[in-house]
């Protein structure tokens, strides 16, 4: 009897242990579903502020954000594809489409976030003062410096078209080059230079398109912007996005990811973006 009693107690303990273990696994799985790893490039102060606000908004949902930061643009999509991160936030539609094509990938955009409009800045005179205050002041035969890489040159030509300064025979996602200019009423002289040199060219041209990644470090005064890229069909490909794996909605983190999108698309986050990026980033939701 004593042996049976001991075995019975042992069996009960074993069953109880299995039940507790099962409960523990369920709990761990639940916690894991509420922890989302986001792949980002090295965060700027503005990035830090907006993600801090998003985390604050997710507090009541019990969702925790973790980050994996990268310094090489070729890495975040690889990390997303192999499951190192659950979503990433560093690229626009154009970049994602090109990456998928080149890597036979099937990553998808799950939410639009903001656009970093490219600006046409006025050239400066010998004293460093802007030559023009309005794009309408650009004279005939004005020299416009543009980035010479295919992607950025196409982008700025579309901006010139949206402003009515030129006409192109391509549209949307089609790449534009100077050869696609069909109408140029002011006979603007397009000067192609390396993107990293566009800021320096302001002293020798009438105006220059400068990417924000070069304009900010160069200390360019954004009040000297003559043109700001608009959000339209031609600029849609430059809208930044959150990306995920193709089947993300069937993952155990789908609900948490949807909550992240909801939190990002709030007026609270919009306010943070506006205040911390000095207008460089423009929310599009």
Average pLDDT, whole number, for the chain? 89
**In order of start, what are the domains of the chain with their CATH numbers?**
37-116+236-283 (3.40.190.10), 119-228 (3.40.190.10)
Identify which of 102, 278, 123 has the alpha carbon closest to the alpha carbon of residue 188.
123
Residue 243 confidence (pLDDT):
98
CA distances from 70 to 35, 43, 79, 194, 280 (A): 19, 9, 10, 25, 22
pLDDT in tens, 195-240: 999 999 999 999 999 998 889 889 999 999 999 998 888 888 899 9
Mean of the pLDDT values across residues 19-28? 39
The region of weakest confidence among 53-62, 145-154, 264-273 is 145-154
Q: How far apart are CA 184 and CA 164, in angstroms?
A: 9
What is this structure's pTM? 0.77
The answer on pLDDT for 270 being more than 90 is yes
195-231 exposure pattern, b = at least 16 Cβ within 10 A, e = fewer: beebbebbeebbbbbbbbebbbeeebeeebbbbebee
Cβ–Cβ under 8 Å, residues 194 and 152: no
Tokens (6 digits) for 73: 């643009």
Band of residue 31 on the pLDDT scale cut at 50, 70, 90: low
249: how many CB neighbours lie within 10 A of its CB?
A: 14
Band of residue 27 on the pLDDT scale cut at 50, 70, 90: very low
Mean of the pLDDT values across residues 121-144? 96
């Amino acid at each position: 009897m004593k042996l049976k009693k001991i075995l019975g107690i042992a069996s009960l303990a074993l069953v109880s242990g299995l039940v507790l273990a099962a409960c523990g696994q369920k709990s761990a799985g639940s916690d894991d579903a509420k922890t989302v790893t986001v792949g980002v490039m090295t965060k700027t102060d503005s990035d830090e502020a907006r993600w801090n606000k998003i985390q604050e908004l997710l507090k009541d949902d019990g969702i925790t954000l973790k980050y994996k930061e990268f310094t090489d643009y070729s890495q975040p999509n690889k990390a997303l594809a192999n499951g190192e991160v659950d979503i990433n936030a560093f690229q626009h539609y154009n970049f994602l489409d090109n990456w998928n094509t080149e890597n036979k990938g099937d990553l998808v955009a799950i939410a639009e976030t903001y656009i970093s409009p490219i600006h046409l800045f006025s050239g400066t005179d010998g004293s460093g003062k802007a030559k023009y205050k309005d794009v309408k002041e650009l004279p005939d035969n004005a020299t416009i410096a543009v980035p010479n890489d295919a992607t950025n040159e196409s982008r700025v030509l579309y901006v010139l078209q949206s402003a009515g300064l030129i006409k192109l025979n391509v549209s949307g996602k089609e790449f534009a080059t100077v050869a696609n200019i069909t109408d140029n009423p002011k006979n603007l002289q397009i000067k192609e230079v390396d993107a990293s040199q566009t800021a320096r060219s302001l002293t020798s041209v009438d105006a220059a398109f400068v990417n924000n990644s070069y304009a900010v470090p160069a200390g360019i005064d954004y009040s000297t912007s003559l043109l700001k890229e608009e959000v339209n069909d031609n600029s849609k490909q430059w809208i930044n996005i959150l990306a995920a794996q193709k089947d993300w909605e069937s993952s155990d983190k789908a609900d948490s990811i949807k909550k992240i999108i909801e939190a990002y698309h709030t007026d609270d986050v919009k306010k943070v973006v506006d205040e911390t990026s000095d207008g460089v980033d423009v929310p599009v939701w």
